[in-house]
């Protein structure tokens, strides 16, 4: 690793800090085409841990995996009018192939509703074919001119699940399942607390009746919309003719949903947990869970042998944490250099070993999360201890996230206060809003904050007034500036 000058302070300039961490921890690099990103092995290994956790959830819910083409004929893509209008500004379109101009240009998928539902219309004819729930792990393209690694790139990786159901009720259950499954992954694996709810009319997915996001508040007071589950109602089934005969022989249109979770989540992970020394990775997603760093000197051979023994000791335990155990022993790098490298990479546990530890048959253990004073452990009990420490770190990271969310959420009933918060600390604001589009736009103009969501279990109130226009408002909404 090259640059070991100090990172920019996260609190002073979070955008600059973020780019430096992505680069120096070797998570990603820029692609040669504007807006594109290369996910480097260390970043990809984090994504693989996400995929492995989520794929289990998806399959155990009864959904199955498949793969559909990335090219969608423009004539097909244009069949659902809200959908095409919403996506048109960001689609990439292939107009030439094999040296010839194409009669029907091909849209590179910005999402797969149309290409999948075209097949669904042929595959579904009876109530016996339902529910049909198919998931894809793939890449999609939504045109961007500026790259902000993981958070805004023209091409990104994700999963997209698409359900077709016989009844509105079954469909809604799958929509809720989608967002709750994401919530579980975020809380248990990313150690990131967040909010789920429904989007306003103007913020929802093009072609959806309802969009349910999981929103994460990160340092600097902005939110990252990190995944969504959509209730598509019968919009697409009517546009594409996806109908079936119900048990009484009556022809009905199917009810549909889609849900997607992308590599954006890694941007949220980096921004939320990182600190001035670099990444801080939750043990359940860390590609390397333990790094062993020897103090090299006269007894090199003996110490390295001892490190191997420690490594074997930790690896022999059947662990719930997928990461590996690494020995950092490049003698071109000083001990201090290897310590900062392990901190930059966010490895949860570091074990240091010198001649004293060798003599006493112990190790010194330190935690990336809080730089706690190293504790001494006997090698014989190391594997169990390591597992306990990792469980503890994972839990404490989530508690930190929960507290951060609580401390930075404000209920406000005065627009001047609203403006002041958005100018200074930022954060999430809870306020009553009339749900009028004009009003939403004006709030955005004056504060850069958008409506993020209305909680699912929100109570309908009477006698409350809109924070901006004073008209009647029934629901409490969350507002924030977004990445």
CB of 51 to Zn ion, least distance (A): 42
Dihedrals phi, psi of 154, to nearest 5 degrees: -65, -35
DSSP 8-state assignment for residue 220: T
CB of 439 to Zn ion, least distance (A): 3
- The answer to whether 197 and 437 have CB atoms below 8 angstroms apart is no
Q: How far is CA 6 from the centre of its chain?
A: 28
CB of 421 to Zn ion, least distance (A): 18
- The answer to whether 177 and 135 have CB atoms below 8 angstroms apart is no
Residue 172 or 475 with smaller CB distance to Zn ion:
475
How does 174-201 read in b/e, with b if 16+ C-beta sit within 10 Å?
bbbbbbebbbebbbebbbbbbbbbbbbe
CB of 435 to Zn ion, least distance (A): 8
Q: How far is CA 229 from the centre of its chain?
A: 13
Helix count and strand count (H, E) for the chain: 14, 25
CB of 219 to Zn ion, least distance (A): 30
- The answer to whether 156 and 264 have CB atoms below 8 angstroms apart is yes
Q: How far apart are the first and last CA of the chain?
A: 29
Element (H, E) at 298: none
Residue 16 or 442 with smaller CB distance to Zn ion:
442
Residue 117 or 477 with smaller CB distance to Zn ion:
477
Asked whether position 92 contacts Zn ion by CB under 5 A, the answer is no
Residue 172 or 415 with smaller CB distance to Zn ion:
415
Interface residue with Zn ion among 176, 469, 472, 476 (CB under 5 A) is 469
Stretch touching Zn ion by CB under 5 A, among 180-188, 411-419, 421-429, 458-466: 458-466
Element (H, E) at 335: helix 335-344
Asked whether position 449 contacts Zn ion by CB under 5 A, the answer is no
CB of 470 to Zn ion, least distance (A): 7
CB of 431 to Zn ion, least distance (A): 10
Stretch touching Zn ion by CB under 5 A, among 5-13, 195-203, 237-245, 468-476: 468-476
- Site size for Zn ion (CB under 5 A): 5
Asked whether position 466 contacts Zn ion by CB under 5 A, the answer is yes
Strand arrangement of the beta sheet that strand 375-378 belongs to: 324-327, 288-294, 349-353, 362-367, 375-378
Q: Show contacts with Zn ion in window 37-66 (CB under 5 A).
A: none
Residue 391 or 469 with smaller CB distance to Zn ion:
469
Asked whether position 443 contacts Zn ion by CB under 5 A, the answer is no
Asked whether position 468 contacts Zn ion by CB under 5 A, the answer is yes
Residue 263 or 451 with smaller CB distance to Zn ion:
451
- The answer to whether 129 and 119 have CB atoms below 8 angstroms apart is no
Residue 448 or 465 with smaller CB distance to Zn ion:
465
Q: Show contacts with Zn ion in window 400-439 (CB under 5 A).
A: 434, 439
Chain positions contacting Zn ion, by CB under 5 A = 434, 439, 466, 468-469
């Amino acid at each position: 690793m090259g640059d070991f000058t100090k990172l920019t302070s996260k609190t002073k300039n979070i955008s600059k800090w973020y780019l430096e961490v992505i680069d120096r921890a070797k998570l990603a690099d820029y692609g040669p085409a504007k807006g594109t990103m290369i996910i480097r092995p260390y970043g990809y290994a984090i994504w693989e841990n996400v995929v492995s956790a989520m794929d289990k959830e998806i399959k155990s819910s009864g959904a199955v995996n498949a793969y559909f083409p990335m090219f969608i004929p423009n004539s097909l893509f244009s069949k659902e009018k809200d959908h095409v209008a919403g996506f048109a500004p960001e689609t990439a379109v292939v107009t030439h192939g094999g040296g010839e101009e194409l009669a029907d240009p091909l849209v590179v998928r910005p999402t797969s509703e149309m290409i999948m539902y075209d097949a669904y219309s042929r595959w579904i004819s009876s109530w016996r074919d339902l529910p049909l729930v198919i998931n894809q792990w793939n890449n999609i393209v939504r045109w961007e001119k500026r790259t902000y690694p993981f958070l805004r790139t023209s091409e990104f990786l994700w999963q997209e699940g698409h359900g077709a159901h016989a009844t509105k009720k079954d469909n809604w259950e799958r929509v809720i399942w989608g967002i709750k499954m994401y919530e579980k992954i975020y809380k248990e694996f990313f150690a990131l607390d967040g909010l789920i709810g429904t989007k306003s009319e103007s913020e929802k997915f093009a072609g959806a009746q309802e969009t349910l996001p999981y929103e994460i508040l990160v340092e600097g007071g902005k939110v990252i919309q990190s995944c969504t589950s959509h209730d598509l109602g019968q919009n697409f089934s009517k546009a594409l003719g996806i109908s079936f005969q119900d048990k009484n022989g009556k022809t009905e249109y199917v009810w549909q949903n889609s849900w997607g979770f992308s590599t954006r989540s890694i941007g949220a992970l980096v921004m939320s947990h990182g600190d001035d020394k670099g990444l801080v990775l939750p043990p359940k997603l860390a590609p390397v869970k333990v790094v062993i760093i020897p103090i090299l000197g006269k007894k090199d051979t003996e110490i390295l042998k001892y490190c191997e023994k420690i490594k074997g000791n930790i690896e022999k335990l059947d662990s719930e944490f997928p990461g590996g155990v690494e020995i950092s022993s490049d003698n071109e790098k000083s001990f201090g250099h290897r310590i900062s490298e392990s901190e930059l990479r966010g490895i949860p546990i570091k074990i240091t070993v010198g001649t004293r530890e060798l003599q006493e048959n112990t190790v010194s253990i330190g935690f990336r999360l809080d730089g706690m004073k190293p504790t001494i452990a006997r090698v014989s009990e190391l594997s169990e201890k390591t597992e306990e420490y990792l469980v503890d770190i994972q839990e404490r990271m989530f508690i930190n996230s929960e507290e951060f969310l609580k401390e930075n959420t404000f209920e406000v009933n005065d627009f001047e206060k609203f403006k002041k918060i958005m100018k200074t600390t930022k954060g999430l604001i809870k306020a009553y809003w009339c749900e009028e589009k004009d009003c939403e736009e004006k709030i955005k103009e004056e504060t850069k904050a958008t409506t993020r969501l209305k909680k699912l279990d929100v109570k309908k109130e009477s006698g409350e007034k809109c924070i901006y226009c004073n008209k009647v408002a029934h629901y409490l909404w969350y507002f924030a500036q977004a990445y």
